Amino acid sequence: MIIAHISDLHFNEGIDFDEKIYEKAVKILNKVDADFIFISGDLTTSGLLKEYEFAEEKLKQINGKKIIVPGNHDERNLGFKLFPEFFGKTDFIEKFKDINLVGLATSEPDKDDGRLGRGRHKLITQGIEKGKMTIIGFHHHVIPVPNSGRETNIIEDAGETLDIILKNEIPLVLMGHRHVPWAVKIHKTLLVNAGTFSCTRTRARFGNTFNIININGDKIEISVLNIKEEKKKKMIELNLSDGCCENKYF
């Protein structure tokens, strides 16, 4: 199974959105032939109606099934009322043959930081099914992300969330928000951040990127695709059967 993980597109009529890089990114992404595309939030910059309309229009260029959770920017200015109208449920379990994807909204109206809360924690456990791999996806991060500046916005209930993830040996957690790609293995879990797909606010020389996740039996391999350079580089690999992990990107 191939999952394309994209994040922080920031569709906006101001300086946040890089249209040229978006067009290039879409061309590359459409060649990936992913089973589905997971979008971990920040589709807008201010949660405005015209940004949601713009996002809906531009996302049509991306082929394939798109699964979307909101980011902090999408909840601004009553944007949280528009998100379900445009992109459906903010909290859900999407079931595939071999995996269950639990999508969750960590964002809160008009706040940059986020939380999950007990209801969503319950949804995580409901997404666990014998014989299937559970993947969780949300916008904010649960542990600090290097190369993304001073630490802010880790979800309020990061400790409890991490505890549920690790105790249940959930192999893969997909996040965004920090605009840099990163991955780390803790216990039997890969915590993975996608960089920004099309926002002008990139960090240092990281540029615009997205992640390609390849799940083959017990092996999870994640690569980062640098959009400007059109270069793919392996970031992390985890073999669930022996717990061995290799981090190549940094």
Which residues are near Fe ion by CB under 5 A? 8, 42, 71-72, 177
Q: Which residue number, 106 or 223, has a Cβ lying nearer to Fe ion? A: 106
Neighbours of 146 (CB within 10 A): 11
DSSP symbol at 176: -
CB of 5 to Fe ion, least distance (A): 14
Give CA–CA dist 190/92, Å, rounded.
21
Q: Which residues pair with 239 in a beta bridge?
A: 219, 244
Amino acid letter for position 156: E
Q: Which residue number, 134 or 211, has a Cβ lying nearer to Fe ion? A: 211
CB of 14 to Fe ion, least distance (A): 14
Q: Which residue number, 35 or 112, has a Cβ lying nearer to Fe ion? A: 112
| Cβ pair 199, 186 in contact under 8 A | no
CB of 72 to Fe ion, least distance (A): 4
Q: Which residue number, 191 or 238, has a Cβ lying nearer to Fe ion? A: 191
CB of 140 to Fe ion, least distance (A): 7
Q: Which residues pair with 2 in a beta bridge?
A: 214
Pairing of the two strands 209-216 and 2-6: antiparallel
